[in-house]
Each structure stands twice: as structure tokens, then as C-alpha cells.
Structure 1
Amino acid sequence: MNHARHSTENAVARASVVKLMIFDVDGILTDGSLHFSPEGEVMKTFNVLDGQGIKLLQQAGIHTAIISARQSAIVARRAADLGITHVKQGIHDKKTAFLELISELNLSPEHCGFIGDDVIDLPVLTRVGFAASVPNGHDEVRTRVHHVTKATGGAGAAREICDFILRAQDKYDSALATYLT
């Protein structure tokens, strides 16, 4: 994957064929902070706008998935709340998890999108048709993706990507139509 591939036209073209959007969790669906309770339980904060964006993607017929290096009951609960059925947690080999997922769904890599923020995400980001990151993602990641959001992880970045995909596929207006009647 070449460095500095950011061009709006390229990103829109790539997003226009996404049939599966995959989300990293820490740094994307959350701000990347890990809060520990006195008992050692990890707590995470999710953005409600991101959740609505994921639901809009699903309603538009786009599959959604999570691939995360950390294992968390909180993530499983959030995924269930959002109707994300493809959840792979505790996965440090994200490439293998990605390849298994696209095999299960009978999709090719160019019809997949992934948003990640750190070097552990590069094996997937360099294989998908539409790769995205956040402005506070690692430099090595941001320079290798097709699109960098304006919003940071946990602060609307996932929603921004969902809206970007819906617009690229001319599904944004119909996705909002239910709410405008």
C-alpha cells in the first residue's frame, strides 16, 4: 500500500462498493482510554452517534463487524445492542480473523472497509478496499489509509465513516428519510 493515498475521489469510489464495514474498538468506537474499576474490570465509553451510524449502515444493507485485539464483555454487550453479529475479540492476528470473516460472508476484500488506528490494524487496512483511520491514529496508519476522519475515536469517527459510506453509495438521503417524515 502506498503512502499518502488520501484523495476524496479515490475514497468515495472505494466506499461506494463497501458491503461489509469492520470496526476496531479501542481508539475507534472508544477514545482509546482504558478505565479500570477497583476490581480490575475495564470500562469503556461509547458514543451514541456512532451507534446510530452503524444501525443506519445495517438498515441500508451493509454488514457490520468488529475485530478487536482486546476481549471485553462490554464490547460484546455493545455489539449485541447494535445488532452487530460478526464480533471477533481477543484477536491479535487480525489478518486471519479478517480472512475468516470474508470467507464466511463470501465477500472479496475490495468490498470491505475497515477503520483502525494502530499498527496492529495494518494487516487488515492494507487488504480492504476502503481503509480509514482517525486523526489521532498512529502516523504509520494514517499515511496508509484512503480516508482520515475529522472526528477522533469515540467522538463520532465511526458515525462519520458510516455517513461517508452511505453518501458514497447514494443511500444517505433514504437512510434519513424515516426521520424526516
Structure 2
Amino acid sequence: MAAALTASERASRVKLMIFDVDGVLTDGGLMFTAQGDHMKSFNSMDGHGLKLLGKAGIQTAIITGRRSDIVLARAQELGISHIYQGAANKLDAFAQLMRETQLSAEQCGYMGDDWPDLCVLTRCGFAAAPANAHPEVIARAHWVSEARGGQGAAREVCDAILRAQHRYEALLAAACAASGA
């Protein structure tokens, strides 16, 4: 019988990394104005991590149960081309995303934090969770960040993927060269 893959081996196969929003790219807090508008706070380092994945040729996507113009604007700013909002069934969105990208589940990673994410987490090749994810999610994840959702968890997983694919050092060197460091 073959040995189970390590988290790093799984991360080395990722060609598409998918993220939930609330509790992963944000801290999970929902802020509403008196007029009913809602606001979200995103971490700039998380965003830079997603941009680095793109520079390394790794596609990024969002699958979220809520709809928000804020999420659409943030995704566009980060160059995320696959955005599924209002996904009542995240597994259906995942299946559609695999058809669109012509990738297998084993080539996909997913970072989620709560029960609605379990259907995708248990089917993708690399399942990740922020440190403060629900215990059922952490129990099924291949990799868990040290940071909480919206506070660097996404950046940690991006860095882990880049390291597993031996792309981290080259991107770091390019960033240092560009800044004159």
C-alpha cells in the first residue's frame, strides 16, 4: 500500500488555489451600516500572497456563499479570474470550476473555515484551514495555518504552496531586485 502524501507533496501539485471569503480572506466579522450596506476588511499581506501565486502561474479562485460587490472589487484588484458568489452548494461551484479550468480535483487546493466548506475540502487535493477554523474543518485539513482567518492565514498557505513548488526563493529574489535590496 502506498504511503499517504504529505501536505507539502499535496501543495506541490496545486495548479489552482481556491479560497472561501468570510473567515478565510476576512476575519469572519460581518459589519453593517444603518442603511444595510455591509463592509469587509481584507489583509494586505493575504492579498499579496494571492498575487504571488498568480506570478508563479498558479490560478486563484473564490467560492463563497455570500454575494458582495466588495468581494468582486477585491478579487478584481488581486487578479482572481474565477469568482463564484452566492454558492449555496459549493461542491457544484467546485465542479463547474474544474470543468472551466480543465483541472482535476487533485490539482486543486481549497482553504475554508466552516461546515459549508467541508464538501470541497474533502474532495480537493490540498485542503487548508486557518488556525481558527471550526474543529471539524481542522480535523479534515491537510494543512493548518498558524494565523487566523483574515490575519495572514491566506498568505501562509500561499507561501507554503510556493515553497512546495520551489518558486518562493525566485519570487523573493525578484522582489528584492526590483526594490534595490
Equivalent residue for 1:114, pick from 103, 106, 110? 110
Q: Determine the structure 1 residue equivalent to 2:147.
A: 151
**How is 1:124-139 mapped onto 2 (pairs within 5 angstroms)?**
124-139=120-135
Determine the C-alpha separation between the residues in 2 that align with 1:139 and 1:175: 34
Residue 61 of structure 1 is matched in structure 2 by 57
Which residue among 161, 164, 176 is the counterpart of 1:168?
164
Measure, in 2, the Cα distance between the counterparts of 1:37 and 1:104: 37
**Which amino acid counterpart does residue 41 of structure 1 have in structure 2?**
D
Match of 1:43 in 2: 39
Q: Note if contact 2:67-2:86 (Cα within 8 Å) is conserved in structure 1.
A: yes
Percent identity of paired positions between Structure 1 and Structure 2: 56
Q: So what's the TM-score if we normalise by structure 2?
A: 0.94
Q: In the comparison of the two structures, how many residue pairs are matched?
A: 174
| 8 A Cα contact 2:159 2:168, kept in partner | yes
Deviations 1:115-142 (A, max 9, x none): 0000000010000000000111111110
Structure 1 match to 2:88: 92
Aligned partners of 1:143 and 1:155: how far apart in 2? Answer: 21
**Matching residue's letter, 1:48:** S
Contact in 1 for aligned 2:63/2:84 (Cα 8 Å):
yes
The aligned residue for residue 14 of structure 2 is 18
Secondary structure of residue in 2 paired with 1:66: strand
Give CA-to-partner distance per residue, 1:20-61, whole Å, 9 cap, x none: 000000000000000001111110000000010000000000
Amino acid at match of 2:59: H
Compute the TM-score of the two structures, normalised by the length of structure 1: 0.94
CA RMSD of aligned residues (A): 1.0
Aligned residue identity for 1:11: A
Partner of 2:78: 82
SS at match of 1:143: helix
CA deviation after TM superposition for structure 1 residue 177, in Å: 1.7
Gaps of 5+ in 1: 1-6
**1:103 partnered with 2:99:** yes
Question: Which structure has more RCO (C-alpha within 8 Å, separation ≥ 6)?
Answer: 1
User: How far apart, in 2, do the equivalents of 1:175 and 1:109 lie?
Assistant: 26
> Shift of the alpha carbon at 1:160?
0.3
* 3-state SS, counterpart of residue 140 of structure 2: coil
Distance in 1, matches of 2:55 and 2:84, equals 22
1:123 aligns to 2:89 (yes or no): no
Give the corresponding residue for 1:28.
24
The question of whether the paired residues in 1 share the 8 Å contact of 2:131 and 2:153 is answered with: no
